[in-house]
């Protein structure tokens, strides 16, 4: 490469970089501004939006991020924001706005995740964190339970045991597993997905 073409190369690279960082900031801003429009005004979503400059952001990010290789890595990118939904409409808003603004959502319920599927990604992403949505309603007469995604299997077992000495629910032994992740196919160990039993 002669010197004039290498200068041209550097110029065009920095031009592209500055364009793409402007784009991703405004995509995030547009996403954040979209959230209140699509959620219930009597349950403001603003209190549930954490960007990296919020003082609790790092704490929240690490709270259920159990894989130290991932959280201590300087090369794995952190989420652009964490939405700690407190109302069903916050979940709806996060999904609708992520779709509109082409932002990847990683969804974390209330439990552990050693693979990091719910808190790491190769592309810019936002975490929808469901740990506040953890109510369980047990009806022993109908032998049914309504459980929100953020509850853990341990909480579900405990709530059933409070109501009955003979009922139970068959799932994992580990009580810190999130119901949302378990019901959607997680909680079977780090290698079973790839190798089976
Ligand atoms: C918003 O939430 C309130 C209280 O939870 C509820 O009464 C109301 O129906 C909701 N509004 C909409 C449009 O869903
Ligand atoms: C996080 O910071 C943003 C901007 O500084 C602010 O609007 C938002 O309310 C903060 N979120 C929380 C949960 O305090
Ligand atoms: C925090 O980030 C938000 C959104 O990116 C921004 O609007 C706000 O000015 C920032 N606050 C501080 C104190 O840096
Ligand atoms: C529990 O289930 C029974 C039988 O289906 C029903 O009649 C009852 O209304 C339910 N209780 C509650 C609190 O939903």
> Given the CA of residue 46, which atom of ligand 2 is nearest to it?
9
Q: Which of 129, 155, 184 is the last residue of a domain?
A: 129
Distance 189 CA to ligand 3 centre (A): 39
Full domain range(s) for residue 180: 136-195
pLDDT at res. 12:
38
The pLDDT tens digits of the residues spanning 14-45 come to 344 444 444 567 999 999 999 999 999 999 99
Of the residues 36, 37, 40, 89, which should be mutated to test ligand 1's pocket, given the most ligand atoms within 8 Å of the CB?
40
Pair 165, 124 in one domain: no
Pair 60, 141 in one domain: no
Pair 114, 93 in one domain: yes
Pair 49, 75 in one domain: yes
Pair 27, 77 in one domain: yes
Pair 143, 108 in one domain: no
Q: What is the mean pLDDT of each run of 10 residues along the chain (197 residues)?
A: 41 40 75 97 96 94 89 86 97 98 95 91 95 97 96 96 94 90 83 77
> Given the CA of residue 43, which atom of ligand 1 is nearest to it?
2
For residues 118 and 172, give the distance between their C-alpha atoms in angstroms, rounded to a whole number.
19
Distance 137 CA to ligand 4 centre (A): 11
Q: Which ligand is nearest to the CA of 39?
A: 1
| SS3 per residue for the chain | CCHHHHHHHHHHHHHHHHHHHHHHHHHHHHHHHHHHHCCCCCCCCHHHEECCCCCCHHHHHHHCCCCHHHHCCCCCCCCCEEEECCCHHHHHHHHHHHHHCCCEEEEECCCCCCCCCCCCCCCCEEEEECCCCCCEEEECCCCEEEECCCCEHHHHHHHHHHHCCCCCCCCCCCCCCEHHHHHCCCCCCCCHHHHCC
pLDDT at res. 81:
97
pLDDT at res. 17:
40
Distance 136 CA to ligand 4 centre (A): 14
Q: Give the list of residues 6+ apart from residue 57 with CB closer than 8 angstroms, or none.
A: 50, 51, 82
Whether 14 lines ligand 1, by a CB cut-off of 6 Å, is: no
Edge-to-edge order in the sheet of strand 104-108:
49-50, 81-84, 125-129, 104-108
Q: What CATH number is given to the structural domain containing 104?
A: 3.30.43.10
Pair 89, 26 in one domain: yes
How many domains does the chain fold into?
Answer: 2
Contact present, 130 and 149 (Cβ < 8 Å): yes
Contact present, 78 and 61 (Cβ < 8 Å): yes
Q: Which of 129, 146, 166 is the last residue of a domain?
A: 129
The pLDDT tens digits of the residues spanning 164-188 come to 999 999 888 889 999 999 988 888 7
Distance 158 CA to ligand 4 centre (A): 20
Q: Give the list of residues 6+ apart from residue 140 with CB closer than 8 angstroms, or none.
A: 163, 164, 167
Structure tokens at 26: 């405004």
């Amino acid at each position: 490469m002669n010197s004039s073409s290498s200068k041209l190369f550097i110029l065009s690279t920095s031009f592209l970089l500055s364009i793409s960082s402007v784009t991703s900031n405004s995509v995030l801003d547009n996403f954040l501004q979209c959230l209140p429009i699509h959620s219930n005004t009597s349950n403001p979503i603003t209190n549930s939006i954490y960007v990296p400059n919020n003082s609790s952001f790092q704490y929240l990010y690490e709270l259920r991020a159990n894989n130290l290789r991932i959280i201590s890595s300087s090369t794995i990118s952190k989420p652009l924001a964490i939405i700690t939904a407190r109302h069903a409409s916050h979940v709806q808003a996060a999904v609708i706005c992520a779709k509109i603004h082409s932002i990847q959502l990683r969804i974390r319920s209330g439990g552990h995740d050693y693979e990091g599927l719910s808190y790491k990604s190769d592309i810019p992403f936002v975490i929808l964190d469901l740990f506040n949505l953890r109510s369980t309603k047990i009806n022993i007469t109908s032998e049914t339970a309504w459980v929100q995604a953020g509850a853990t299997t341990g909480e579900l077992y405990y709530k059933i045991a409070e109501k009955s000495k003979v009922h139970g629910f068959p799932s994992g032994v580990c009580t810190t597993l999130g119901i949302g992740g378990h019901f959607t196919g997680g909680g079977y160990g780090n290698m079973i997905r790839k190798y089976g039993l």
